[in-house]
Amino acid sequence: MTDKRFFVQPDWLDFCIFWALIVSGVALAVIIQMEVVGYGIPNLVASRLLVAVLLVAAVQVLRARLIVGAGGITVRRLSPANTLHFAAADLLGVAHTAHTVSLTTRQYGRIRLVHLGKTAKLCAALAAVQAASQDGAHRQEGVSHV
């Protein structure tokens, strides 16, 4: 099975806080520009702040991924230190609504993610990995060591 990658965002509360801070950073850059210079030449401080905030937003969108593969499931976040990786056998359940996917795992408990696309492909990939791991577990139970 090849790895399938899906763009995700953290749970709704974290999602709202993060994007509110991004909008606040953009607003602060605009305020600094308008207070210091007005409509004239762009201010260096305001320009750097705007570029930094937009760079953090772009990195968040590009890094936040759910990777589903035969080797396990990986939830990547903004910081590489916050990456979660667990085996498919540790996935206990998957629940989804229109834009939210909840993964229940042995190791991390419940992980909630926001997927702004259609969740059907994401849930199908998770179900396939979960079914494959359960089939493997059932085959292991049937083997006797004499």
Per-residue pLDDT at 117: 78
Number of other residues whose CB lies within 10 A of the CB of residue 122: 21
User: CB–CB of 5/66 below 8 Å?
Assistant: yes
Number of other residues whose CB lies within 10 A of the CB of residue 114: 18
Per-residue pLDDT at 145: 43
Per-residue pLDDT at 1: 60
Per-residue pLDDT at 144: 43
Rounded-to-integer distance, Cα 125 and Cα 28, Å: 41
Counting as low any pLDDT under 70, the low residues of the chain are 1, 134-146
Per-residue pLDDT at 45: 92
Q: What tens digit of pLDDT does each residue of 104-138 get?
A: 888 888 989 888 877 788 888 888 887 777 665 55
